[in-house]
Amino acid sequence: MRILSGIQPTGTLHIGNYLGAIKQWVELQNSKNFDEKTGCIFIVVDLHSLTVDYDPKQMQKMILDVAMDYLAAGIDPKKNTIFVQSHVKEHAELSWLLQTITPMGELERMTQYKDKSKQNKENINAGLFAYPVLMAADILLYKTTIVPVGDDQAQHVELTREIARKFNNKFGQTFPEPKTQLQKSGARIMSLTNPMQKMSKSIPQGCIFLTDSEQTIREKIKTAVTDSGKEIKFNETNKPAISNLLTIYHLFSGKSIPEIEKNYENKGYGDFKTGLADVVVDNLRKFQENRKKFEKDPELVKKILTQGAKKAQKIAEETMEEVKKKMGLI
Ligand code: AQP
């Protein structure tokens, strides 16, 4: 079993990134089935982040910030491999090779490409289009079997399976077909200002960031949009905003949605929002304390990333040798 996932350094991480991805990584690491020998691979996927507009002067800080978020959330670098994607050049190399067997039509179907093309009309670049193939390379380079991501990325993992199948049929069995592992309920957290849109770093107005102060979190929850009616009831079709807030409450508190609904029976949105803010603030407190420690020691974080890249490179080199032989390049 090989587990791998990653996050782009495109901005401050939000509770969607945490609840959809990082929280499960920590749970995997702490589960009985965790294999101490192989551990998990967690990447700061900087090459992906170049596909949208960015400030090169800020990039190093953003990369380090994501690494600090991983560590502050409880990812143990002794048990796992944490590194920066561009530090292992084989990611880009395998991506190119896989592009040569990926049909354009498959990439045109990708919803993230369609959404991001709409958001960045001035910068629809070839990298944005080929993004899912680079993601496939990230996954297949380590012969990954399980990819714990939010459900917005499930389509990309499905494409990775198809690319693996195609490669294996054409050049001989090489890659396992990876499976997506989603958070059991509420894999997608929606924006607080528009419950029809996913919470995204690139749309900051709808996000609760992991580093937001208590006051900011309370303010954001207080002003989050709600639906008509006063009932606290989960109903994604008719009450998408309250359903999203209930999901956040459920994932942070561990309480079931019916239990939360019962606790707020005959109470208004105001009480519910205060309760939700308490839960979010409480749960982020430990993370924020841990993060401060890493902020004081960026050299330690850099050292962890260098060691992680060395470990990853070893596996990546072995896979590339096998791939190149099979493709007739060596
Ligand atoms: N709203 C979300 N709900 C649940 N999971 C989410 N993830 C992202 N947003 C949500 C999960 O976080 C991981 C990292 O995502 P990423 O940064 O690599 O790319 P993304 O999905 O494009 O994340 P953002 O926040 O929306 O960033 P931008 O705005 O830069 O595109 C993934 O596992 C993802 O599923």
pLDDT at res. 186: 59
Task: Tell which atom from ligand 1 comes closest to the C-alpha of 150.
Answer: 35
pLDDT at res. 303: 98
- Residues 320 and 211 grouped into a single domain: no
Ligand 1 centroid to residue 327 C-alpha, Å: 33
pLDDT at res. 116: 93
- Residues 114 and 251 grouped into a single domain: no
pLDDT at res. 1: 85
Phi and psi torsions of 86, nearest 5°: -70, -10
Instruction: Tell me how far apart the terminal alpha carbons of the chain are, to the nearest angstrom.
Output: 29
Let me know if residue 178 belongs to a domain.
Answer: yes
pLDDT at res. 34: 87
pLDDT at res. 185: 60
pTM here is: 0.93
Let me know if residue 230 belongs to a domain.
Answer: yes
Q: Whose CA is closest to atom 24 on ligand 1?
A: 200
Calpha distance 323→330 (Å, rounded): 9
pLDDT at res. 202: 83
Number of domains observed in the structure of the chain: 2
Q: Whose CA is closest to atom 2 on ligand 1?
A: 16
Using CB atoms within 10 A of its CB, is residue 135 exposed (0-12), middle (13-18) or buried (19+)?
buried
Among 152, 203, 205, residue to substitute to test ligand 1 (most atoms within 8 Å of Cβ): 152
- Residues 138 and 227 grouped into a single domain: no
Beta bridge partners of 4: 41
- Residues 251 and 275 grouped into a single domain: yes
- Residues 281 and 303 grouped into a single domain: no
Ligand 1 centroid to residue 114 C-alpha, Å: 15
- Residues 80 and 210 grouped into a single domain: no
Task: Tell which atom from ligand 1 comes closest to the C-alpha of 11.
Answer: 30
pLDDT in tens, the chain (330 residues): 899 999 999 999 999 999 989 999 999 999 988 888 888 999 999 999 999 999 999 999 999 999 999 999 999 999 999 999 999 999 999 999 999 999 999 999 999 999 999 988 999 999 999 999 999 999 999 999 999 988 889 999 999 999 999 999 999 999 999 999 887 665 789 999 999 999 999 889 999 999 999 999 999 999 999 998 889 999 999 999 999 999 999 999 999 999 999 999 989 999 999 999 999 999 999 999 999 999 999 999 999 999 999 999 999 999 999 999 999 999
The sign of the torsion formed by the CA atoms of 320, 324, 326, 330 equals: negative
Ligand 1 centroid to residue 11 C-alpha, Å: 11
271 is in which domain, residue-wise? 204-293
pLDDT at res. 230: 85
